[in-house]
Structure 1
Amino acid sequence: MTELPKTFDPAEIESRWYAHWEEKGLFRPERPSAEPFTIVNPPPNVTGSLHIGHALDNTLQDIVIRYERLRGKDALWVVGTDHAGIATQMVVERQMEARQDKRTNYTREQFVEKVWEWKAESGGAITRQLRRLGCSMDWANERFTMDEGFSKAVIKVFVELHRRGLLYRDKRLVNWDPRFRSAISDLEVETQEVKGGFWHFRYPLADGVRLADGADHIVVATTRPETMLADMAVAVHPEDPRYRDVIGKDILQPITGRRIRVVADEHADPELGSGAVKITPGHDFNDFEVGRRAGFKAADMLNMFDADANVVQTADGLIPERFLGLHRFRKDGVDGARELVAAEMKALGLLVPHVTKNKEGEEVVADAEPRTIQTPFGDRSGVVIEPWLTDQWYVDAEKLAIAPMQAVRDGRIEIVPKTWEKTFFNWMENIQPWCVSRQLWWGHRIPAWFGPHTNNGAIVPSLGTHIFVAENEEEMLAQARECYGDGVEIVIACSRTEAAEIGHHPAKAVLYRDPDVLDTWFSSALWPFGTLGWPDETETLKRHYPNDLLISGFDILFFWDARMAMQGMEFMGDVPWRKLYLHGLVRAADGQKMSKSKGNVVDPLGLIDRFGADALRFFMAAMESQGRDVKMDEKRVEGYRNFATKLWNAARFLQSNGVAAATSHEAPHAEAPVNRWIVAETVATVQAIDIAMAELRFDAAANAIYHFVWDQFCDWYIELTKGSMDEETRAVAGWAFDQILVMLHPFMPFITEELWNLTGTRENELIVARWPQALHAVDSEAQTEIDWLIRLIGAMRTARTELNVPPGAKLGVVVHGASDETRRRIDRQGAALARLGRVESLSFGDSVSGGAAQIVVDEATFILPLEGVIDIEAEKARLAKALAGAEKERDSLSGRLSNPSFVEKAKPEAVAKAREDHAEKAAEAERLKAALERLA
């Protein structure tokens, strides 16, 4: 047994032990005959770095996997990284820009090679940071969504979905990022408040048609005037009497001269503005749906922007030439389409000005009403996202959603907290087609080739009108040969451009591969089985699918979790995991969402540097309460660093008193009540943690071990046994401390492993030790007796503090009304009571002369004579004055909180602070009142 240093160095311990665990393969010990337990880590972006959300998510997973490993299971924590299409391509392109270089200077293959070079040199920093957090992942089998085996699974799933009719190509609106020239997912869209305008325009009715009030126009309002160049309709509510007579009539769009219909649709709200809405189905998600209901096919919807969000001619050729080539917004000091459209409508006399009055009552006229507009931005590009009509690949999510919904309904998938089920069903029941293609170079290239179609066996001169989907080029060529026949030469071009240059020929079929790649959410949806070797039937796959648990932030419930459920049930015929745990966000101390713009982002690595990984991990666990977000509180993290110090000092105390490691997994035999008590409390703590972990109540598990270590073991057991360390007590103390290290290990792995190995010669490292068995019979008699002693000493200490008894003063105690059992307890625990309660003498009687404090514990009254120890009358006066002050503040706060005006109008944080202060003052008043009443 090595002598413990006076203090411990978290950084040195953490780096040393993590390297040891990983080198010895202890994150995945060989347990082929043990019960399997499997979780998969949400693969972080290969470009990413550890943020506070990662710290929460991975801490919770590590607690579970360490707990199950200690319980003897074949615990597998799958780890890997996501290739992060847009993020990674952006990183590499920015490096190129810094060297005055750009992607288009290279072929696609050359650029992809540069990305692989970047990954080899700089990618995966987050995996090193996860190690600092203590994550005991199966690094020996680390996966990457672009590695060869996983890519094989991705391509197979695409091809199979297409073969089953669940994946298809379609023209729909997407979130288009003009900076990356690619579609992006909803999760990559960040809504920001932008100051903009709300314009009102008159749209003339055609053919002399008028409204019921005689008006020859309809007023429409918009925050995006530029899109009127692609307007296809004006929608009004079918029950709106103002427009009922003009439904189906034409409007003459002023700038383009396009005739557009007035359509009836409930999307138009009669209570908003004029009740009429201009419909641009090619550039607005709501308008797209209105357009479809009005009978417009997606192929016929007008598109007025190119991939860079510059104006291009629509299919009907009606956009005036002066608009062509303009950017959608003002750019580089040049007015864009928005400014020019608004100016022309004003010049035509069709702008309805916005009129307000200033403080002096004078009219102020403006072209548009100032509005703060919720505007979508690309979270990485920083540019405004454009709803854009384009051909993309889609998965039929509606059909794939059926099986996961049924699995949740019948309990094969349990969602924790259960309150998330409603959200899950609401989204799944209204799910839209899933766009899975991206216009990037980095990623899984879509296994589809385009060629000309045929008519009665003859090739029709066309470009890319027939699609071949295959796992590889050889399979594709077999399909093409079957399609075109043996007499046709099949030529594979490098691109659509090259295919067009080669041209058409009746005896030649020119094919080219789809240049797009798959959305990274498509590949990561295969994570629970693709990482285990699928599509090959590996032993790992058979043993560890389905996974047991998925821990995830609620914010990716639909982007990742639901899609894993869809793909897992479609391809494996079973749920991907049996239980889904959704945790909240980590917020700033004031409850606000963390963001760089607010300057309230917390760096978990900085916290680890200051307080150690164990302290941060314990904070995360203790604060993770189901259904609630975690409020960041550095003081709490510091407090758990102090908790680690208390544990260390307890180990040093035990070592200095000859306490060694336990020699048995079973509790030693004990006679002394204090030893029987600590054994019972240890067993009760094991039971509490087991129950909490089964329910995934991380806060309850953390708090159970915290209070046991701090309160029962350190504050009471050690204090009660000081000076009486016999062999029995040493054996019990050593056993109890060992159980503490095992129970605490999932939460604080580093300090517990260090103490485990410094406090005795061990057969195995703590990471692969045995979890305590809560089988020992609970000794209720010993528990009752020591609980009584703790309550009595605690009450004495409280009374002494409240009544200003000098700390060094020893008091006599007179006991009144004690039962025979209490007398026997006093006899057995007299030494501890004298030492910890600072009792000079103890006798039995009815009363004492002079002033005294009275403490009631169960049936007995303990009288503490204070004559000559304190000035009783002065103390009464002090307590009465303090009580009056506390009650006054309590009542003042109560009055404020009962005032509806304050509660409804004050800032939420001010109301919360008032409630906290009221509770504090109410508790203080109760304490002072009790102290005053104690003085006889």
Structure 2
Amino acid sequence: MDKTYDPKSIEARWCEAWETGGYYTPESVARLRGVDRTTLPPYCIMIPPPNVTGTLHMGHAFQHAVMDALTRYHRMRGFDTLWLPGTDHAGIATQMVVERQLAAQGIKRTDLGREKFLEKVWEWKEYSGGTITTQMRRMGNSVDWTRERFTMDEMLNKAVTEEFVRLYEEGLIYRGKRLVNWDPVLLTAISDLEVESREENGKLWHFRYPLADGSGHLVVATTRPETMLGDTAVAVHPDDERYRHLIGRTVELPLCDREIPIIGDTYVDREFGTGVVKITPAHDFNDYAVGQRHRLPILNVFTPTAHINDEAPAAYRGMDRYDARKRIVEDLEKLGLVEKIQDHKLMVPRGDRTGVVLEPFLTDQWFVNMKALAERALDAVRDGRMRFVPENWVNTYNQWLTNIQDWCISRNLWWGHRIPAWYDEAGTIYVGRSEAEVREKYASRLAPRASLKQDEDSFDTWFSSALWPFSTLGWPDKTDDLARYYPTSVLVTGFDIIFFWVARMAMMGLHFMGEVPFREVYITGLVRDAEGNKMSKSKGNILDPLDLVDGIGLEELVQKRTTGLMQPQMAAKIEAATRRQYPAGIEPVGVDALRFTFLALASTGRDIRFDASRASGYRNFCNKIWNAARFVLMNTEGKDCGIDPALPCELSTADRWIVSRLQRLEAEAAEHFRSYRFDLLAQALYQFIWNEYCDWYLELSKPALQQGDEAAQRGTRRTLVRVLEAALRLLHPLMPFITEEIWQRIAPLAGRSGPSIMLQDYPVSEPAKIDEAAEADIEWLKGFILGVRQIRGEMDIAPGKVLPLLIHNASASDCERLQRMDASIRFLARVETPRVLADGEAAPQAATALLGAMNLLVPMAGLIDKDAELARLAKQIAKLEGDLAKTEARVGNPNFAKAPEHVQQQTRDLAAKQRQDLVALRAQETRIRSL
């Protein structure tokens, strides 16, 4: 093995070897193992499909680390394992990118026409679509690339068409004129998921609406004056004594020469504004519901681009909505109908793609009736067929399904699955899988050469994604994969799409397949920055996972974070923060360290605060494993490692201890995988490998390796390689690259063989090998050695100096262990053979440490220069007193409370540590003076 661990060269080599070797595909794995796939239990994960034109972000990297760990674990356990990859066509996002490219050339999509425009989109998809899959390969994701899917593939297009036709024929899909979230820039309806509601500063205008009989007026409060042109009523609460007597009368709608009724409806909040609200059914979702209850006319006064249309008075036609707002307020002021104008904070809905203010817009769209579908999805959770981890997320799922509204599935886009509906010249709708099917199906109603035009719109991306767990397996055809892998085993996804994707997959899976799409739903948190802020380009705190893997220089990182920011002031702020946080750029940590970081932070359902320094720490963990493997190989390669059972092997107490600890770890790992506690799994593996195997066992093995007889050496070498080999298999799902690289060297020494570690069995605990006596012995020995090391540290005695050691108040069991483990004590503690003081024997002046009731005594005579040590301690104490005074002054500063909370906490923690260290130094000074 190389002296230095170099993750980049290892990762590149194994990425290619794993994929070309077929280790990711179920068929190849079964063939290599020599087993019949059909006899194995299936295990399947569908990747949540990222946008085809996107790039890998921290959220992807986190979730992929979880999915790959589960996949590799179950593959090693002998399951017929499939992790199926794919990407989403991302209708709005992709069409926007291509339209912007064309706009830069002075071309509109309408100039090209639908077919030519779609050719441009496919060209862009081919150019940029492989970016995220290349990045996934770089991260070592063991997905079955031979089954890779794209939501616009012919197979999936067939599934979406089938979905629509069947639901339409069952009466669950209809076309109607209803309010939708409308983006006046994209000129399409968008889903609730694509709406970002932000609190913004606005105005609350109070307008006078004259009573039609001339007896007075009502004051109406509104935040959107331009919509008054479409008012069809004003409403009051039926129990409001101020206005109850006016219900049934009419008011004159200012500027419009129309009378509209005064209605009573409990929707009205008597405490808001004046207690009188205008009702505009075509431009407000709540007003639409009120209008339906009272059978009010629905008057749309906007064009698709949010300009005033011809339904409004002539003075405002063609005006932009905000220009019209300004003119309306001016005209009302001239008429003396403005009561007052107040500053007002309100929630403003904006499109997440364009940032433009959205309009509730009345338009013809396709809808799915959701009530019946939702009830079955609710039942699946109630009866336990589908389980959420953690369980509390089921409340979010249930709440949305219980209050579900019909789903607008059409989008006014060209890029996407085109709706399989045709219209004749009279506007009659015909639905079928193709125009030929339509003509055959409706032959009795259509003339042979009747002109038919296909619907111009496409489906909401979520409509196709709702089929993902089974369309990717071949549905509507009855394929072997569909029969084998559906229902899938687990979905790994974020809480933010429980409504929009998880619930819809549940509904469609139950409706079309008669079974839930996945048995368990593991909900992850968001990946935030070290201070807990959401990562975003506008905040300049995003991290590219591959920048952490491969490293990035400071200047390149600054440029990457500030590119595209329009405001120089914002760019300067982000640049300063980046230079402060990463003064030397980001050092490479490798894939394994990054993946382990994500998993170590993956507390169930909680957001992750990602700190790059944590990844650097796990890079050190990789170094630790690498160096441990080099030590093992230097002591075992070319030597007898106990493979031949005919030759005697003598296991030391340390050997039996580490084997016993391994059994406990194996049982713990199985439980943590079962409960999705990746944080506890990572912690357990780290503790065992770093602390127990590397720090303790490798040291404990040295006496036997250097001084033991042949059987003892053989036993220790066997234990060294077998425990390391098992630990590598335990760690492999979390750190695939370094474990594969080392395993190839260690496995033959441990009596194992095979082309890859991922095709090996995952270790299973053997309770018979748990040795509680050996564990107790080694815990005693560790305490003994740490006691001696404590004395060395306190007395500033060189680690290599052999010390005399006296034992006071030793029990019979202590004495037995002292004698039995004398070689290990002398070797590891660097002491002479300990001498037990006789009863009543006076102890000399000595530094002491306690191990239970037993005292470890190191006589100080001749070991240290008392005066020099006191002078050294005095200098340390003085410096620490000065540092503590400065820290306490910062905490006591009146401006300290203005600092960020994490800065305040760090300062308080520093002060506490400095006080603790000062107490320890003063105690040490007292001990030295007493010698």
TM-score, normalised via structure 1 length: 0.87
Structure 1 residue 396: Cα displacement: 1.7
Structure 1 residue 483: Cα displacement: 3.1
Indicate the SS of the match to 1:541. Answer: helix
Structure 2 counterpart of 1:507: none
Structure 1 counterpart of 2:442: 480
- Once residues 341 and 208 of structure 1 are traced to their aligned partners in structure 2, the CA distance between those partners, rounded to angstroms, is 22
- Once residues 126 and 896 of structure 2 are traced to their aligned partners in structure 1, the CA distance between those partners, rounded to angstroms, is 59
Equivalence map 1:545-556=2 (5 Å): 545-556=486-497
Indicate the SS of the match to 1:190. Answer: strand
**In the superposition, relative to structure 1, how do residues 870 and 835 fare at CA in structure 2: closer, same or farther (>3 Å)?**
farther
Do 1:879 and 1:931's aligned partners in 2 also have CA atoms closer than 8 Å?
no
**In the superposition, relative to structure 1, how do residues 534 and 848 fare at CA in structure 2: closer, same or farther (>3 Å)?**
farther
Q: Which amino acid aligns with 1:789?
A: L
Do 1:660 and 1:759's aligned partners in 2 also have CA atoms closer than 8 Å?
no
Q: Which amino acid aligns with 2:443?
A: R
Structure 1 counterpart of 2:762: 771
Structure 2 counterpart of 1:853: 847
Do 1:886 and 1:921's aligned partners in 2 also have CA atoms closer than 8 Å?
no
Q: Which amino acid aligns with 1:561?
A: V
Do 1:436 and 1:519's aligned partners in 2 also have CA atoms closer than 8 Å?
yes
Alpha-carbon RMSD across the aligned residues, in angstroms, is: 3.1
2:820 to 818, 828, 831: 828
- Once residues 802 and 726 of structure 2 are traced to their aligned partners in structure 1, the CA distance between those partners, rounded to angstroms, is 37
- Once residues 928 and 75 of structure 1 are traced to their aligned partners in structure 2, the CA distance between those partners, rounded to angstroms, is 58
- Once residues 101 and 219 of structure 1 are traced to their aligned partners in structure 2, the CA distance between those partners, rounded to angstroms, is 49
- Once residues 833 and 285 of structure 1 are traced to their aligned partners in structure 2, the CA distance between those partners, rounded to angstroms, is 79
- Once residues 79 and 884 of structure 1 are traced to their aligned partners in structure 2, the CA distance between those partners, rounded to angstroms, is 57
Pick which of 675-684 and 7-16 moved more: 7-16
Indicate the SS of the match to 2:442. Answer: helix
- Once residues 110 and 891 of structure 1 are traced to their aligned partners in structure 2, the CA distance between those partners, rounded to angstroms, is 68
Do 2:721 and 2:746's aligned partners in 1 also have CA atoms closer than 8 Å?
no
2:410 to 437, 451, 461: 437
Equivalence map 1:620-699=2 (5 Å): 620-659=598-637, 671-699=651-679
Pick which of 855-864 and 709-718 moved more: 855-864
Structure 1 counterpart of 2:118: 112
Do 2:46 and 2:85's aligned partners in 1 also have CA atoms closer than 8 Å?
yes
- Once residues 546 and 875 of structure 2 are traced to their aligned partners in structure 1, the CA distance between those partners, rounded to angstroms, is 48
1:197 equivalent to 2:189? Answer no
Indicate the SS of the match to 2:850. Answer: strand
Structure 1 counterpart of 2:62: 56
Deviations 1:838-881 (A, max 9, x none): 32452112676554333222332223334553649949996997
**In the superposition, relative to structure 1, how do residues 529 and 144 fare at CA in structure 2: closer, same or farther (>3 Å)?**
same
Q: Which amino acid aligns with 2:44?
A: T
- Once residues 514 and 60 of structure 2 are traced to their aligned partners in structure 1, the CA distance between those partners, rounded to angstroms, is 31
Structure 1 residue 88: Cα displacement: 1.4
Indicate the SS of the match to 1:515. Answer: coil
Pick which of 633-642 and 757-766 moved more: 757-766
Deviations 1:279-322 (A, max 9, x none): 222122222223333333xxx412111111111123xxxx2212
**In the superposition, relative to structure 1, how do residues 437 and 918 fare at CA in structure 2: closer, same or farther (>3 Å)?**
farther
Greater helix content:
2
Q: Which amino acid aligns with 1:5?
A: D
1:76 equivalent to 2:82? Answer yes
Do 2:884 and 2:914's aligned partners in 1 also have CA atoms closer than 8 Å?
no
Deviations 1:574-605 (A, max 9, x none): 11110000000000111011111111111111
**In the superposition, relative to structure 1, how do residues 616 and 807 fare at CA in structure 2: closer, same or farther (>3 Å)?**
same
- Once residues 815 and 890 of structure 1 are traced to their aligned partners in structure 2, the CA distance between those partners, rounded to angstroms, is 43
Do 1:587 and 1:594's aligned partners in 2 also have CA atoms closer than 8 Å?
yes
Structure 2 counterpart of 1:717: 697
Aligned residue pair count? 864
1:738 equivalent to 2:725? Answer yes
Deviations 1:499-523 (A, max 9, x none): xxxxxxxxxxxx3221111111110
List runs of 5+ in structure 1 lacking aligned partners: 210-215, 330-335, 354-367, 453-462, 493-510
Indicate the SS of the match to 2:814. Answer: helix
2:511 to 555, 570, 583: 570
Do 1:815 and 1:860's aligned partners in 2 also have CA atoms closer than 8 Å?
yes
Structure 2 counterpart of 1:491: 450
Pick which of 34-43 and 797-806 moved more: 797-806
Do 1:660 and 1:730's aligned partners in 2 also have CA atoms closer than 8 Å?
no
Indicate the SS of the match to 2:821. Answer: helix
Q: Which amino acid aligns with 1:635?
A: S
Indicate the SS of the match to 1:722. Answer: helix
Pick which of 78-87 and 474-483 moved more: 474-483
Structure 1 counterpart of 2:348: 375
Deviations 1:181-206 (A, max 9, x none): 11111222223454433322222222
Structure 2 counterpart of 1:337: 324
**In the superposition, relative to structure 1, how do residues 785 and 913 fare at CA in structure 2: closer, same or farther (>3 Å)?**
same
Pick which of 919-928 and 757-766 moved more: 919-928
Do 2:880 and 2:914's aligned partners in 1 also have CA atoms closer than 8 Å?
no
1:26 equivalent to 2:23? Answer yes
Do 1:174 and 1:388's aligned partners in 2 also have CA atoms closer than 8 Å?
yes
- Once residues 925 and 277 of structure 1 are traced to their aligned partners in structure 2, the CA distance between those partners, rounded to angstroms, is 69
Structure 1 residue 164: Cα displacement: 1.5
Do 1:191 and 1:377's aligned partners in 2 also have CA atoms closer than 8 Å?
yes
Deviations 1:680-730 (A, max 9, x none): 111111111110000000101111111111101111111222253222111
Structure 1 residue 913: Cα displacement: 4.4
- Once residues 918 and 375 of structure 2 are traced to their aligned partners in structure 1, the CA distance between those partners, rounded to angstroms, is 59
Equivalence map 1:878-917=2 (5 Å): 908-909=901-902, 912-913=905-906, 916=909
Deviations 1:234-255 (A, max 9, x none): 2333333322222333222212
Equivalence map 1:806-817=2 (5 Å): 806-817=798-809
Equivalence map 1:435-584=2 (5 Å): 435-451=408-424, 463-464=426-427, 466-484=428-446, 488-492=447-451, 511-584=452-525
- Once residues 201 and 787 of structure 1 are traced to their aligned partners in structure 2, the CA distance between those partners, rounded to angstroms, is 81
Deviations 1:528-559 (A, max 9, x none): 11111111111111110000111001111111
Q: Which amino acid aligns with 1:864?
A: V
Identity among equivalent positions (%) equals 46
Deviations 1:30-62 (A, max 9, x none): 331321100100011111110111111111100
**In the superposition, relative to structure 1, how do residues 338 and 799 fare at CA in structure 2: closer, same or farther (>3 Å)?**
farther
Structure 1 residue 820: Cα displacement: 2.0
Structure 1 counterpart of 2:581: none
Do 2:26 and 2:82's aligned partners in 1 also have CA atoms closer than 8 Å?
no
1:38 equivalent to 2:44? Answer yes
- Once residues 890 and 415 of structure 1 are traced to their aligned partners in structure 2, the CA distance between those partners, rounded to angstroms, is 50
Structure 1 counterpart of 2:793: 801
- Once residues 784 and 928 of structure 1 are traced to their aligned partners in structure 2, the CA distance between those partners, rounded to angstroms, is 33
**In the superposition, relative to structure 1, how do residues 87 and 805 fare at CA in structure 2: closer, same or farther (>3 Å)?**
same
Do 2:388 and 2:522's aligned partners in 1 also have CA atoms closer than 8 Å?
yes
- Once residues 816 and 110 of structure 1 are traced to their aligned partners in structure 2, the CA distance between those partners, rounded to angstroms, is 92
1:47 equivalent to 2:44? Answer no
Pick which of 134-143 and 277-286 moved more: 277-286
Structure 1 counterpart of 2:237: 237
Deviations 1:758-809 (A, max 9, x none): 3455322112111112125211111111122122222332343345445455
Q: Which amino acid aligns with 1:279?
A: I
Do 1:583 and 1:626's aligned partners in 2 also have CA atoms closer than 8 Å?
yes
Deviations 1:611-667 (A, max 9, x none): 11111101000001012100110000111111111111111111111257988799x
- Once residues 806 and 287 of structure 2 are traced to their aligned partners in structure 1, the CA distance between those partners, rounded to angstroms, is 85
Pick which of 122-131 and 852-861 moved more: 852-861
Structure 2 counterpart of 1:455: none
2:363 to 390, 394, 409: 390
